[in-house]
Copies of this chain bind each other. A is one copy, B any other.
Amino acid sequence: MIKIGIYGYGNLARGVEAAIKKNDDMELVAVFSRRDPSTVKIATKGVDVVSANDVTKYADKIDVLVLCGGSRTDLPVQTPELAKYFNVVDSFDTHAHVSEHFANVDRAALESKHIGVISTGWDPGMFSLNRAIMEAVLPDGQDYTFWGKGVSQGHSDAIRRIAGVKDARQYTVPVEAALEAVRAGKNPELTTRQKHTRLCYVVADEKDYARIEKEIKTMPDYFSDYDTTVNFISQEELDRDHKGLPHGGFVIRTGETSEGVKHVIEYNLKLDSNPQFTGSVLIAYARAAYRANKRGEAGARTVFDFAPKDISPVSYDELLKHTL
């Protein structure tokens, strides 16, 4: 059994916890939280809930520590620090700082002889892996990534910070016509506005509707570059219809193997729960981290470093017989 620890206990951590139950070779040993452990109720019985301050006491009891903090302030510090004591896996997703984060984790993990898998999940993660493989098998081509339909938590939060907004949920929606143009191999040049629309559900007092709608639609970075639709609904409707965290998206590569001979490769995801699927991917890469470390490897890793057999719960012989 691979002994897993979870560091941080929010939505993603609950996804990781659920994923462990679906993998027979995994066992949850402890959950670490910065909150008072007595206030943290987890879903698995008989598992230690421990103060994050005491995490190093578990260095010999855990094979892989799955880090469930945020990319902005948590992971840049936590992943290199915890790689001094554990094999770690994170879902760092700030593209602009990936090389720096990789270098920091690599340094710590090489010194402590651990494996640090960074930036896994679905994007970055499965989408990155597919972009890399698609490019390798169809080098003369172009890839496109679309997200949605799904809930963007960052955009939902941005709406909730507007005065008068009681609650809100924002969906990112890919533009069907853009998807079709890409699939048709037209290599379109697509602006931000042409790729995705933004669909918002907002709870507020009726007197504030016009102002809130205007504030949303003109918000720089988040909404002003998009065609945005704002629907005002009741709290009951929002709670009933929009409490899930579905997401998904598309990676499509089109290209030629010779003049006029075209190919289309598409990978897409439709996820009922973004954090649960992300958690499930993290657990597959926790397996890879464990195995690589057992082989004597150390350092930072990404999805680009692992073969299918490294993440698979199935024996190589079974893969040959039933999956090839």
Contact yes or no, A136 B313, CB < 8 A: yes
A140 within 8 Å of B by Cβ?
Answer: yes
Contact yes or no, B270 A263, CB < 8 A: yes
Task: Kindly provide the distance from the CB of A38 to the nearest chain B CB, expressed in whole angstroms.
Answer: 25
A191 within 8 Å of B by Cβ?
Answer: no
Contact yes or no, B312 A305, CB < 8 A: no
A308 within 8 Å of B by Cβ?
Answer: yes
A261 within 8 Å of B by Cβ?
Answer: yes
Tell me the interface secondary structure of chain A in the complex: helix
Contact yes or no, A270 B264, CB < 8 A: yes
When A135-B314, A324-B119 are in contact, do A18 and B277 touch as well, CB less than 8 Å? no
Cα–Cα distance between A269 and B138 once the two chains are bound (Å):
12
Q: Which of B15, B23, B257, B269 contacts A18 (CB 8 A)?
A: B257
Contact yes or no, A98 B320, CB < 8 A: yes
Cα–Cα distance between A117 and B303 once the two chains are bound (Å):
21
Contact yes or no, B268 A99, CB < 8 A: no
Cα–Cα distance between A124 and B323 once the two chains are bound (Å):
9
A210 within 8 Å of B by Cβ?
Answer: no
Contact yes or no, B281 A137, CB < 8 A: yes
Q: Inside 8 A of A312's CB, which chain B residues have their CB?
A: 132-133, 135-136, 304
Q: Inside 8 A of A130's CB, which chain B residues have their CB?
A: 267
Cα–Cα distance between A241 and B263 once the two chains are bound (Å):
18
Contact yes or no, B276 A304, CB < 8 A: no
Q: Which residues in window 289-323 of A have CB below 8 A to B?
A: 302-314, 316-317, 319-321, 323
Query: Beta-carbon contacts of A247-258 to B below 8 Å, as 1s and 0s?
Result: 000000000011
A29 within 8 Å of B by Cβ?
Answer: no
A158 within 8 Å of B by Cβ?
Answer: no
> What is the size, in residues, of chain A's interface with B at 8 Å between Cβ atoms?
69
Task: Kindly provide the distance from the CB of A268 to the nearest chain B CB, expressed in whole angstroms.
Answer: 5
A78 within 8 Å of B by Cβ?
Answer: no
10 A-B pairs with least C-beta separation: A132-B308, A257-B276, A136-B311, A264-B270, A18-B258, A136-B284, A304-B309, A128-B324, A304-B308, A22-B140
**29 CB < 8 A contacts A-B:** A18-B261, A22-B139, A23-B139, A99-B317, A99-B320, A99-B321, A102-B320, A119-B324, A124-B324, A126-B133, A131-B323, A132-B309, A132-B319, A133-B308, A137-B277, A137-B280, A137-B284, A137-B311, A257-B279, A257-B280, A261-B273, A261-B276, A263-B272, A265-B267, A302-B324, A304-B309, A305-B307, A306-B307, A307-B307
Chain A residues near B (Cβ < 8 Å)? 15, 18-19, 21-23, 95, 98-99, 102, 119, 124, 126, 128-133, 135-140, 183, 257-258, 260-273, 276-277, 279-281, 284, 287, 302-314, 316-317, 319-321, 323-324
Besides the known contacts A126-B133, A132-B314, A304-B324, 7 further A-B residue pairs in the complex with CB atoms under 8 A apart: A119-B324, A132-B309, A132-B323, A138-B277, A257-B277, A258-B276, A263-B272
